[in-house]
A and B are shown apart, each in its own frame.
Chain A
Amino acid sequence: MPREVLSILVDNHSGVLTRVASLFGRRGFNIDSLTVSATDDPEISRITIVVHDDAKVLEQIIKQTARLEETREIFPLNAAHSLLRELLLVKVAADEANRSAIREIASIYKAKIIDLSIGSMVMELTGEPEKIDGFLDVLSPYEILEMCRTGITALERGGIQRHD
C-alpha cells in the first residue's frame, strides 16, 4: 500500500496531540511516523502524519480527523508537489581502522559528523526519507550503536498558504 503523508493544521492547544493520537488509536489507524511543529502562526500547530493504508481507510482517517473540533484543516500531501524531509542522528562504532571509510560514506551523502570519540562517530543527515534509508543501508556493514529518526515533516511546493 502506498505511503501517504497527511498534513493537519490544528489549534495550538494543550492536549491536541492526545486528541489526534486517541482518535487514531480508537479507530485502529496505524501511524508510521508523526511530527508536531510550530507554524508561522502561534495559534496553529502542524501535525505531519505518515500512514500506509488503502484509499478507503485513508478517506476515513481524513474525515474523522476533520471532525475534531480543534482540526482546522487536513490534507494529503501529493508526493510530487511536496517537500518531505527527515532528520537522522546515527552513532556508529568507529575506530582508526574504519573511521575514514565511514567518513567517505558521510561525505558522499553530505552527512555531517557532529561528534567523534575514540570508538565512535555521530553523524547528522537531513533529507528525503528514501535518502536516509539509503544512507542507513550503506552503513549497515558497520556497527550502529544508536540511532534516531525524527519522522517526516513536509510542506507543499509553490506559493500555497493553507491558513490565514
Chain B
Amino acid sequence: MRLTGADIFAEVLVEQGVDTLFGYPGGAVLNLYDALYKYSGKLRHIMTAHEQGAAHAADGYARATGRTGVVLATSGPGATNLVTGIATAYMDSVPMVAITGNVGTTLIGRDSFQEVYIAGITMPITKHNFVVRHVEELADILRDAFCIAQTGRKGPVLVDIPKDVTSAKTEFIPKPLVHPVYETRLEKSQLARAAEMINTSKRPFLYIGGGVAASGAGEELRALARKAEIPIAYTMMAAGVMDYGDPLNLGLIGMHGCRTTNKAVNEADLVLAVGTRFSDRVALNGEQFAHQASILQIDIDPSEVNKNVTVDHSLVGDVRQTLQQLLPLVDEAKHPAWMEQVRAWQAQDYRPKDDADRLRPHQVIGKICELAGPEALYVTDVGQHQMWATQYIRHVKPRSFLTSGGLGTMGFGYGAALGAAVAAEGKRPVIHITGDGSFHMNLNEACTAVSYRLPVVTVIFNNQVLGMVRQWQAAFYGKRYSSTDPHRQTDYVKVAEGFGAKGYRCATLDEFSSAFAEALKAEGPVWIECLIDKDEKVLPMIPAGGSIEDMILE
C-alpha cells in the first residue's frame, strides 16, 4: 500500500509494539501529529509541558518496563530540548527512540526557521542516529532504530525526519516484529578460568550494576551468590536486584555507600564486577580500587573492560546468559571466616539517629516504604534526597528505582515519574522523591500529571538550600556557601493548587504519615513538602578520588 511518511511512522511504531509515546507538537511534525490523530486508537500520545519532560518520561517508562521509550519533538528548539533527556538515557543505557522533525530537505543547511543539525548535536549522546533523506528509507530506518536501542548494551537512538519526507508517499510493506537476539559466545576455557577464580577464592565479593537489571539476571545472580556464598554490593543502578534484607546483600557501594561494602571491596581477594562500569562514584580511586583482589568482570560491552580499572579476566556477554553458563562450573562453597569479618564490619555501619522532634530524611523514607508497600515504583531527582532514597528505601524489586545515575540530571524526576505512572497504569503507587532544588527545575510537568490524572506522589525534601553542593562547600570549601542558599519563598501548597494538584506541608513525622496516606488515595498528582534541616548531610561519604580511609562519618 502507498502511504505517506507520516503514516509509515505510525505503522512502524505499531509494528514495533509501541502503544505509548511522549512528545510535544510543532511545525515540522504537523504531519506526524496528524498521523497520531488518525492512529489514536493504537498509539497513545502523552503531551508534556516541555520536551525535556517528554524525554525523561520516555526514559522513565523504559526503565520501569524494559520496553523502548519513545519521544517525539519538533525541529529546532523542540529537538534541542530533548538533549538532556537523551544524554541521561545514554549514560544509564536506557533503550529509547527519539524522533525529531526537521525542516524540509530543500531548506536544510540554510539556517531556516527552527532548523538545527540535531544529528550532529546528539552524535556523542546516542548509540546511533539517522537523518532520513528519502521516504523510501523511513520504515527500515525506524526499524533499525528500535533494533539498535534494544540490542547489546541498550541506549538511545535518534531519528531526524525532514518535513517533506513525512508528506511524501511510498509503498509500505509491513514486516513482522523481530526481537533482537543477542547470543553470548564464550570459550570453554574463558568460563573455566572464571570458575577457577571463584572456586579458589577465600574472600569473594560481588559488585553489581545496572547491567544485571537490564539483562533480567537477578535470579541467576542470587543463585551464584548463594551457591558460592558471595556477599554482594550494588551500585545505584542495581538497587532492587537484591532484596533488602537478604543476608548476602551488604548494601550500596561507592561515595555514599556503607562502610562494609567499601571495606569489603578493599579486603576481598576476588571482586566479581557484573554489569557495571567502575564509575568514579564507585571506583573513586581507580588505582586503589580492590587493590588486594583479582578482578573478574562480566559485561555485555567489551569497551567497558579495562576502561576505568584494569581487570584480570573478563567474560563479555549478556549477564544472564553468561551467569547461566558459568553457574554449573562454580563449586558450592562457604567462607565462614570472610563472612564473619563482613558481619563484624556490618555491626559498625553508620546508622542515622531517629529524632522525635523534627523530620529526618531516613525516617521520612522509612515511613514512605511502610505505607507505599513493596509494589511501589520510586523515582528520584538528583542531590541529597537521591542518595537518602538510595540508602534508605527498602529496595525489593528491580526496575522499581528510577534515578539518573551517570549524568546526575537534576529535573529528571518529574518527567520520569510521568513515564513511570503511565507504565504503572494505576496498579502500583508511583513515589517521586525530590529536593526543593531539583523540583524547581521541572515542576512545570505537574500540569501534565493533572491533565492525564496521573497519581504521582511527590515528596519534596525542602531544606531551603542546594544541599549536596552545600555539603561539599561545608566539607571542602570552608563553609563558603556560594549560591546554594537561594532564599526562595515558594509556597508549595499554593503552587499545587494553582496547577490543580494537591499540596501538603509537614514538619513532623505524624503530619507526614497522614498526608502521605491521603496522597496514596488521590487520583491525580499530589506533593508533600517536608521541612528538613539545612545541615542534614548524606553520610557516610568518601571524597572524590579517596578511599575507605578517608570516609567521613559526621
Contact = CB atoms under 8 A, between A and B. Distances in A.
B124 A56 contact: no
B123 A69 contact: no
A67 B301 contact: yes
Interface string B472-503: 00000000000000000000000000000000
A60 B128 CA distance: 19
B123 A60 contact: no
Nearest to A21: B123
A64 interface: yes
Nearest to A26: B124
Nearest to A64: B303
A149 interface: no
* Interface range on chain B (Cβ under 8 Å from partner): 10 to 19
Interface string B91-135: 000000000000000000000000000011001100110010000
* Interface range on chain A (Cβ under 8 Å from partner): 10 to 19
B314 to A, nearest CB: 11
B306 interface: yes
Nearest to A22: B123
A66 B302 contact: yes
Contacts of B124: 22-23, 26
Contacts of A66: 302-303
Interface in A103-131: none
A100 B471 CA distance: 75
B142 to A, nearest CB: 15
Contacts of B123: 18-19, 22
Contact of B303 (A15, A60, A69): A60
A56 to B, nearest CB: 7
A59 B306 CA distance: 8
Contacts of B44: none
Contacts of B302: 63, 66-67
Contacts of A67: 301-303
Interface string A17-37: 011001100100000000000
A34 B418 CA distance: 46
A23 B301 CA distance: 16
Contacts of B119: 15
Contacts of A19: 123
Given A69-B127, A69-B128, A69-B148, A18 B120 contact: yes
Nearest to B148: A69
B310 interface: yes
B534 interface: no
Nearest to A55: B306
B307 interface: yes
Contacts of A69: 127-128, 148
Most chain B C-beta atoms within 10 Å of own C-beta, residue among A60, A67, A68: A67
A63 B303 contact: yes
B303 A56 contact: no
A19 B120 CA distance: 9
Interface string B288-314: 000000000000011101110010000
A69 B306 CA distance: 21
Interface in A35-74: 56, 59-60, 63-64, 66-70
A69 B305 CA distance: 19
Interface string A61-101: 00110111110000000000000000000000000000000
Contacts of B131: 15
B310 A56 contact: yes
Contacts of B310: 56
B306 A56 contact: yes
Nearest to A60: B307
A56 B286 CA distance: 14
A68 B303 CA distance: 11
Contacts of A59: 306
Interface in B53-103: none
A66 B124 CA distance: 15
A69 B302 CA distance: 14
A56 B124 CA distance: 22
A55 B319 CA distance: 27
A70 B119 CA distance: 15
Contacts of B305: 63
Interface string B412-424: 0000000000000
A15 B119 CA distance: 9
Contacts of B303: 60, 63-64, 66-67
A18 B124 CA distance: 10
Nearest to B133: A14
A71 to B, nearest CB: 11
Nearest to B302: A63
B161 to A, nearest CB: 16
A74 to B, nearest CB: 12
A13 to B, nearest CB: 9
A26 B87 CA distance: 14
A67 B301 CA distance: 8
A10 to B, nearest CB: 13
Contacts of B128: 68-70
B283 to A, nearest CB: 15
Contacts of A15: 119-120, 131
Contacts of A23: 124
Contacts of A56: 306, 310
Interface of A: 15, 18-19, 22-23, 26, 56, 59-60, 63-64, 66-70
The 9 closest A-B pairs by CB, nearest first: A63-B303, A69-B128, A26-B124, A22-B123, A64-B303, A67-B303, A63-B302, A22-B124, A59-B306
21 contacts: A15-B119, A15-B120, A15-B131, A18-B123, A19-B123, A22-B124, A23-B124, A26-B124, A59-B306, A60-B303, A63-B302, A63-B303, A63-B305, A63-B307, A66-B303, A67-B301, A67-B303, A69-B127, A69-B128, A69-B148, A70-B128
